[in-house]
Chain A
Amino acid sequence: MSDFYQTGIITTLHQLGKPSLERLESELLGFSKTRPIALVLPALYSEFEGPAMPGIVQELSKVKYLSEVVLALDQASEDDFKRVREFMAPIQADVKIIHNKGKRIGEVYETLKRNGLDAGPQGKGRSAWMAYGYVLARGKSDVIALHDCDIVTYSRELLARLCYPIANPNLNYAFCKGYYSRVTSKMNGRVTRLLVTPLVRSLQQLTGQHGFLDFLDSFRYSLAGEFSMSADMARINRIPSDWGLEVGSLAEVYRNYSPRRVCQVDIATTYEHKHQQLSADDAEKGLMKMAVDICKSIFRTLASDGAVFSEGLFRSLIVTYLRQAEDTLMKYEADAMINGLAFDRHEEAKAVEAFTRAIAMAAQMFVENPMGNPLIPNWNRVTAAIPDIFEMLRLAVEEDNK
């Protein structure tokens, strides 16, 4: 059973006791009458051939409170698209699929590009952004929830708990991040455990108290891909198109909303999904690429908030991080021991070394180009540039789904 301790500057909604799923869903059905809920699913076609998606569709077919499900499909041919439509048919809610490789959506991306509004390369960030655009274009939903499509341990309780804080009008939250324990027979979630938390605490140690660092440190699992938000937020937030997606999105939430309107919720007792290789020797793929992008995103956010990064600070940061990470590693070893979990100390230490290199690389890249890859612009800016873009997007998706 979870404890009830509140950490940091945001609200934590724990899983206490055994809350009834039926009660949650029945309340959500009531809330959805006045605050309709959309579910956004960014997915690759390959995920429909994996073990997770059949379970997700089976669970979603029992959900009654969703007004629409928007699946942003990447890397799929025309035939794959048709297969996915049949695959999603059991879901009761209105399902629309954004065929990112299709001719019509391709033209929408082309329209954005020629107007100086590049949506960036293919990826989860771009897919999620396009799906938000479609939800806004339809104007049917007030709440948007998003989760990945590679969750092997998916249950509809996850979705209900994720939607509840935003859908419930009495709670007044605008953004809710999911968290869960990444434990099987061992502890997973290396990037959060061994990179983000020690890095944030090292930066706090070196730069002093900083609002964004406190905000980021308040999240139990800042890299979780599951969250819900008010539709208004989707209109004003920008989105990174690289691996800095989760951290960059949190930076936008911090920038635009008070932490009092932000919460995190325990959505699952167990969570298992596709694992990335560490790729310690190649900064262009795997967890190393993810680590570099995350570090750059944190540096950029702090710099945009007035923090000054000198060469000396970066040197100290690497050493401070290493100490922090080593201390963290010992804590996790003790945690694993008491719980009888497998803990490969050597592999964990190797990950810390790789992440140290990633921080150094990110620091160098940041010094060379502090602006980095621009974020995907928010939908308010897009509609200011192309007033009819929502109409165009709606037509593209609806023609594709006919």
Chain B
Amino acid sequence: MMEFLEMMFEPLQEVFAKFNAFLPNLLAMLVILAVGIVFARMLRKLLLKFLTTVGFDSWSDRMGFTTLLRKGDLWMKPAAVLASLVFWLLIILTLMVGLSALDVDAIDELVGQFFNYLPRMFSAAVILLLGYVVASFISRAVLITAANGGHHYAKLFAEAVRALLMLMILAMVMEQLQIATNIVLAAFSILFGGIVIALAIAFGVGGIGTARRIIEKEFADDSPDKEPDDIEHL
């Protein structure tokens, strides 16, 4: 009878012993999560105050970031969006650190992969941000130049330049994030190359007459058997 009872309780004791060993890890994770959430909330509040004080919202309005948010149907203040972004990033980090405190091999591996991927996410965000600013700047410059040059399609032209640049920047971002790299590269090469070839053909065919006139004029001017005129040029 005693043997039978021992057989029954032994696994339970083992589970209890394992749980006892696991409990400090679990508590550590819960403490890390609680502290992380409190810290993230405090940081969000402080960041929001700081961004409001330095006029981040007005700067975003002028730089076009606010409109970018609105295009995504996000109708919060830019400072609140950035603060929320930082908050959720911290929550994810806290969660990862908390999970690693559990000391489970599979989770550790996952957390390791996440932290290895973090620099890529950061550089992708920087490329996107800088790329958007540069694309907006170039597009606006094209708009002003084309409008001042009296071109009717100035806005269309500027938007096309912006779209092409954004296409290039998105391809760079995807490549940085290593999302379907080969497909993105192939799609980008085909699309971008196609557009450039289309433009080259359009300009080439359209400009045949002009090119011929320029070349003929050049050759006519440089012709050695051209008779010199009597007028003395200054």
CA distance A389 to B64 in the complex (A): 9
Interface flag for B216 (CB, 8 Å): no
Question: B67 and A391: CB pair below 8 A?
Answer: yes
From A103, A110, A114, residue with most partner B Cβ within 10 Å: A114
Q: Which of B23-67 contact A (CB under 8 A)?
A: 57-58, 61-62, 64, 66-67
- Residue B14, interface by CB 8 Å: no
Q: Say whether A348 faces chain B, with CB atoms less than 8 Å apart.
A: no
A107 to B66, CA, bound (A): 10
A 349-393 to B, binary, CB cutoff 8 A, 1 in contact else 0? 000000000000000000000000000000000000111110110
> Among the interface residues A107, A388, A395, A399, which one has the most CB atoms of the partner chain B within 10 A?
A388
B75 within 8 A of A: yes
Contact A110 B58 (CB under 8 A): no
**A339 contacts chain B at the CB level, 8 A cutoff:** no
Q: Are A114 and B58 interface neighbours, CB within 8 A?
A: yes
Whether A110 contacts B71 by the Cβ 8 Å rule is: no
Q: How far is the CB of B134 from chain A (nearest CB, A)?
A: 16
| Residues of the A chain whose Cβ atoms lie less than 8 Å from the Cβ of B75 | 103-104, 107, 396
B-facing residues in A103-147 (Cβ within 8 Å): 103-104, 107, 110-111, 114-115
Q: B70 in the interface, Cβ–Cβ < 8 Å?
A: yes
B64–A115 CB distance below 8 A: no
* Other-chain contact of B70, A110, A115, A395 (Cβ < 8 Å): A395
Give the residues in chain B near A395, CB-CB below 8 Å: 67, 70-71
Q: Is B73 an interface residue (CB 8 A)?
A: yes
Given contacts A388-B67, A392-B66, A392-B67, contact A115 B61 (CB under 8 A): yes
B73 near A115 (CB under 8 angstroms)?
A: no
List, in ascending order, chain B residues with CB within 8 A of A392's CB. 66-67, 70
Q: Are A396 and B64 in contact (CB under 8 A)?
A: no
B120 close to A (CB within 8 Å): no
Give the size of the chain A interface in residues (CB under 8 angstroms).
17
CB-CB contacts of B139-150 with A at 8 A, as 1s and 0s? Answer: 000000000000
Q: Are A114 and B57 in contact (CB under 8 A)?
A: yes
B residues less than 8 Å from A389 (CB atoms): 61
Within 8 A of A (CB), among B60-94: 61-62, 64, 66-67, 70-71, 73, 75-77
In the bound complex, how far is the Cα of B67 from the Cα of A399, in angstroms? 13
| A114-B53 Cα distance, complex, nearest whole Å | 11
Contacts A388-B67, A391-B67, A392-B66; A111 near B73 (Cβ below 8 A): no
State which of B62, B73, B76, B77 has its C-beta within 8 Å of the C-beta of A386: B62
> What residues of B have a CB within 8 angstroms of the CB of A115 in the complex?
58, 61-62
**Which residue in chain A gives the minimum CB-CB distance to B72?**
A395
A residues in contact with B71, CB < 8 Å: 395
For B57, give the chain A residue with the smallest CB separation: A114
Knowing A103-B75, A395-B71, the reply to whether A111 touches B66 (Cβ < 8 A) is yes
- A52-80 vs B, Cβ < 8 Å mask (1 yes, 0 no): 00000000000000000000000000000
**CB nearest neighbor in A for B55:** A114
Q: Which residue of B lies closest to A388 (CB)?
A: B67
Complexed CA–CA distance, A391 and B66 (Å): 10
Residue of B62, B64, B70, B77 most packed against chain A (CB within 10 A): B70
Contact indicator B66/A385 (Cβ below 8 Å): no
- In the bound complex, residues from chain A placing their C-beta under 8 Å from that of B73 are 399
A388 touches B66 (CB 8 A): yes
- Judge whether A385 and B62 touch: CB under 8 Å: yes
Q: Are B64 and A387 in contact (CB under 8 A)?
A: yes
Are B77 and A110 in contact (CB-based, < 8 A)?
yes
Taking CB atoms, residues of chain B closer than 8 Å to A111 are 57, 61, 66
| Nearest CB in chain B: distance from A100 CB, A | 15
Q: How far is the CA of A395 from the CA of B75 in the complex (A)?
A: 10
In the bound assembly, the distance between CA atoms of A114 and B61 in angstroms comes to: 10
Which single residue of chain A is at the shortest CB-CB distance from B140? A387
B141 → A minimal CB distance (Å): 13
B99 to chain A, nearest CB (A): 36
A387–B67 CA distance with the chains assembled, in angstroms? 10
When the two chains form their complex, are residues A388 and B58 in contact, meaning their CB atoms are under 8 A apart? no
* B61–A396 CB distance below 8 A: no
Closest to A396 in B: B70
Q: How close is B71's CB to chain A, nearest CB, in angstroms?
A: 6
A392 to B70, CA, bound (A): 7
Q: Check A388/B77 contact, CB under 8 A, given A114-B57, A396-B70.
A: no
Distance in angstroms between the alpha carbons of A391 and B68 in the assembled complex: 10
Contact partners of B57 in chain A: CB under 8 A? 111, 114
C-alpha gap A396/B66 in the complex (Å): 12
Name the B residues within 8 Å of A104 (CB-CB): 70, 75
Q: CB within 8 A of B64: which of A107, A385, A388, A399? A: A388
Least CB separation from B76: chain A residue: A107
Q: Which of A103, A387, A396 contacts B62 (CB 8 A)?
A: A387
Give Cα A389–Cα B66 distance, bound, in whole angstroms: 9
Which A200-229 residues sit within 8 Å CB-CB of chain B? none
Q: A385–B66 Cα gap in the complex (Å)?
A: 13
Given A388-B67, A392-B66, 7 other A-B residues pairs in contact with their CB atoms under 8 A: A111-B61, A385-B62, A388-B66, A392-B67, A395-B71, A396-B75, A399-B73
What are 15 contact pairs spanning A and B, CB under 8 A? A107-B70, A107-B76, A107-B77, A111-B66, A114-B57, A115-B62, A385-B62, A387-B62, A389-B61, A391-B67, A395-B67, A395-B71, A396-B70, A396-B75, A399-B73
Top 3 A-B residue pairs of the complex, sorted by shortest distance between their CB atoms: A388-B67, A107-B75, A395-B70
